[in-house]
Amino acid sequence: MAKSVHDLDNILKKGEDFVLSGKIISFPTESFYALGADATNDEAVQRLFTLKNRQHNVPVLILIGAKQQLSLYAADIPDCTDALIDTFWPGGLTLIFKAKKSVSPFLMAGTEKIGIRLSSHPIPCALIEMAGVPLTGTSANLSGKPPCKTAQEVIKVFGNRVDLVIDGGQTEGKAPSTVLDLTVDPPQVLRHGMVTEDRIKAALA
């Protein structure tokens, strides 16, 4: 049954409260369900690694609420960034930048880089705006296993180890976000996904 706007407002407020208290929630994105924690809370980020059985040498991307927030976390923003953002944000392109010193080292996994995306899905965007912090955007799955496409799959995999699952229906679930490293010249695709390499080349032409 579809939830009313009023119900969704209540659920989002609960999500905000959970995020700001260091808990882990799950929500839909334009690709799969994600596991979201306050990306500025080291303890919450470490718990996320444990939850996913993820090695600590694997970085975790963050979701921001507006492109103007990029400079809060990226230390070096190359000239080509504007063209990519104008073409693909909000959407399925994760951009990797050199990270500012304020970014949690647990997110960077020793790389001194941070992956950042502006999601096109309204639920994470609303949560970020309400909480006032970036959220981790790692897919809802155990490391090495397929990502979850529905809230029911998240619950089946994680049970009550995830503090709140926001059911936004089934996600697209065809491909993850494309990951593009802007710390090298020319930019390098590290993971193929929703945005094709040809479209990226066209945007940069």
SS3 45: helix
SS3 203: helix
pTM of the model: 0.94
CA 27, CA 58: separation in Å to the nearest integer?
21
CA 165, CA 134: separation in Å to the nearest integer?
18
Angle at CA of residue 134, ends 147 and 86, nearest 5°: 85
Q: 35: which strand partners? A: 26, 138
pLDDT higher than threshold 80 for residue 5? no
Residue 195 near residue 174 (C-beta atoms within 8 A): no
CA 151, CA 155: separation in Å to the nearest integer?
6
Residue 99 near residue 112 (C-beta atoms within 8 A): yes
pLDDT, one tens digit per residue, over 70-116 is 999 999 999 999 999 999 999 999 999 999 999 999 999 999 999 99
When computed from its CA atoms, the radius of gyration of the chain, rounded to whole angstroms, is 16
Which residue ranges form the domains of the chain, and what is each CATH number?
A: 5-204 (3.90.870.10)
* Predicted local distance difference test score (pLDDT) of residue 7: 84
| Residue 62 CB burial class (10 angstroms; 0-12, 13-18, ≥19) | buried
Residue 128 near residue 192 (C-beta atoms within 8 A): no
> Residue 121: which pLDDT band, with cuts at 50, 70 and 90?
very high
Task: Give the closest residue to 137 by CA, choosing from 163, 160, 114.
Answer: 114
Instruction: Mention every residue, 6+ apart, whose C-beta is less than 8 A from residue 129.
Output: 65
* Predicted local distance difference test score (pLDDT) of residue 6: 54
Residue 156 near residue 149 (C-beta atoms within 8 A): no
pLDDT, one tens digit per residue, over 9-38 is 899 999 999 999 999 999 999 999 999 999
Calculate the average pLDDT of the chain: 94
Please compute the mean of the pLDDT values over residues 159-169 and round it to a whole number.
Answer: 95
